Structure 1
């Protein structure tokens, strides 16, 4: 009876967890319409150019970049010689933000870089990678290097389920969801969609495993930590979301050289800066083909491109212990050598 009661209480905890928190001390350097720019070490205390982590804005908190002690990309970068690390902490969309489009986010990202001195090393995580790519093409000279981790640059490459879903559902379906959200795309709608990609795991196996480990304090702590991030989805502006679905995932305009950003059509061949591409072998959100295709589309010389394929899935690229131990220190050293 006590085990069943403990299980019921813990199941309720992971289904309705508190909001995620940052693992490392930080300050808010800028508070903008779209984001809070978080500084993890004062600029005066670092060496070299600032490193800007462009976190995903796809329905979950930017805390994935500083997930937990021992599972923090921010901490890994600083431990491997990068002194000035900043993260874009994108704000959940309010009704007043419903008309914010991709241009809005690109313009504010550009303003952030100006505030940091006009040039940075940018690390794009997932959707943050295509926004960083747009910035590199639209504003040459603003980035010293670009690292893309699980970032969908050519959304037609590979055969992943996200690609199939984007092409199988009419845009009208997404428009109806935005209308139901009063002009925003509710995070709870996206969360349901992600769970339905693996329904057996999300609605059955998760709770079976929880029942077996309900007396394991370490397991419960890890599960609660992940739930605080995963089960607290972030609403997105309807315009931004529909532009991403329609123009990037359905029409693949960025890879085809037809995406217009802040009044100019983007040519990815104009990007010639050093490029580091990181992909996961089992990533079913952004397949390796979608990431590695950047090497062919960009104008970066072949000897300035690095590729790394690591075991594991999508989220593990940003907070997985093994990837943080093996891949990211090499990326940090690579960035450090570029100055």
Structure 2
């Protein structure tokens, strides 16, 4: 809303002269129009910046340890300081910045600050056309390479889609995983009743195959981004713009908005073959939970997972229903006394980069990892 009209003291004397009233009113309106024009221009400029110019950036100093075809393995903290903790970032259309978002709001930073001396991160690459036929096995194999390079045994923290691949590794190579954390990770994809589950079961495979074909053999990140936004259209297509306009002169708000947009508005592409395997074998057929998934040459049985297990779910998670995470305890071989199940307030993204969750819950998880 435009500001209320104001008249300078130098103009007050003219108010007693009726002939000058229209002139003063016109000048006031012109000043307000200039302010409104400047605000509108700033808003448009910020909108362009948010949606086109910003790029995701990891917040915490790190070293590239390995540069593999599918990922860059990044080192944080002090290599050699105890059992490494490998954070397996989601490979679901966004970059690993979700695990190292910004200073004061970073999962990696939180782990390092609560008893874990060496953290590594899977920084998954956007798929290129020559990667379109890579399969789940290709990504599992390079995850094994990363673990072996870290010494052959790690604490594994799987975030979202990084959770089921972490569980696969723990089932295929139990000796490589000292402790396992699954946060917002869909393990039993038949559990709960979230929109992702409904879409996977209600949409035929031909729908997903057509999306991959449109992407030239890739599942393009821009398609997924539009799908995520369409889950909450008012929030993303109306309210976001209203909020930005109302706070366009607030530097703190803009800094926060730009940090989020640099990650959220820059999705990455996935190999088409990998994506279709995930949809069909994991989300439609639930093969991992059923013990019917074959990974790296063997049928994977989650009962082979016997390491300490921490399950973290978001009460309002509309991407991974809490049940899909928590039901994992019924499939693994870990004894009940070594399984921790926790549901915390908030949604999906907040599990990994929400300030409250990072402050109130992840320090406890970090200390739990360090104690194993």
- Taking structure 2 as the reference length, the TM-score comes to 0.89
Higher relative contact order, structure no. (Cα contacts within 8 Å, ≥ 6 residues apart):
1
1:280 aligns with 2:322: no
The answer for the alignment partner of 2:202 in structure 1 is: 168
Q: CA deviation at 1:211?
A: 1.1
Separation in 2, partners of 1:14, 1:35: 26
Match of 1:317 among 351, 354, 359: 351
The answer for the alignment partner of 1:61 in structure 2 is: 95
The answer for the alignment partner of 1:294 in structure 2 is: 328
The answer for the alignment partner of 2:39 in structure 1 is: 3
The answer for the alignment partner of 1:226 in structure 2 is: 260
Separation in 1, partners of 2:54, 2:135: 29
Q: CA deviation at 1:42?
A: 3.6
1:24 aligns with 2:66: no
The answer for the alignment partner of 2:339 in structure 1 is: 305
The answer for the alignment partner of 1:261 in structure 2 is: 295
Q: Which has the larger radius of gyration?
A: 2
Separation in 1, partners of 2:146, 2:102: 25
Separation in 2, partners of 1:209, 1:41: 38
Work out whether residues 41 and 83 of structure 1, in 8 Å CA contact, stay in contact via their aligned partners in 2.
yes
The answer for the alignment partner of 2:70 in structure 1 is: 34
Q: CA deviation at 1:216?
A: 1.0
Separation in 2, partners of 1:305, 1:175: 38
Q: CA deviation at 1:283?
A: 0.6
Work out whether residues 157 and 182 of structure 2, in 8 Å CA contact, stay in contact via their aligned partners in 1.
yes
Q: CA deviation at 1:41?
A: 2.1
Alignment of 1:74-113 (within 5 A): 74-113=108-147
The answer for the alignment partner of 1:15 in structure 2 is: 51
Which digits, 9 at most, give the CA deviation of each residue in 1:98-118, with x for residues without a partner? 111100000110111111111
Q: Secondary structure at the match of 2:53?
A: coil
Separation in 2, partners of 1:179, 1:333: 46
Separation in 2, partners of 1:7, 1:252: 46
Separation in 2, partners of 1:17, 1:282: 32
Which digits, 9 at most, give the CA deviation of each residue in 1:187-245, with x for residues without a partner? 00100111111111111111011111111111111011100000000000011100001
Separation in 1, partners of 2:146, 2:138: 13
Q: Secondary structure at the match of 2:190?
A: coil
Separation in 2, partners of 1:109, 1:15: 32
Structure 1 stretches lacking a partner, 5+ long:
none
- Taking structure 1 as the reference length, the TM-score comes to 0.98
Q: Secondary structure at the match of 1:279?
A: strand
1:207 aligns with 2:246: no
Separation in 2, partners of 1:198, 1:116: 40
How large is the RMSD of aligned CA atoms in angstroms? 0.8
The answer for the alignment partner of 2:285 in structure 1 is: 251
Q: Secondary structure at the match of 2:178?
A: strand
Q: CA deviation at 1:177?
A: 1.0
Q: CA deviation at 1:17?
A: 3.5
Separation in 2, partners of 1:22, 1:90: 13
Q: Secondary structure at the match of 1:77?
A: helix
The answer for the alignment partner of 2:222 in structure 1 is: 188
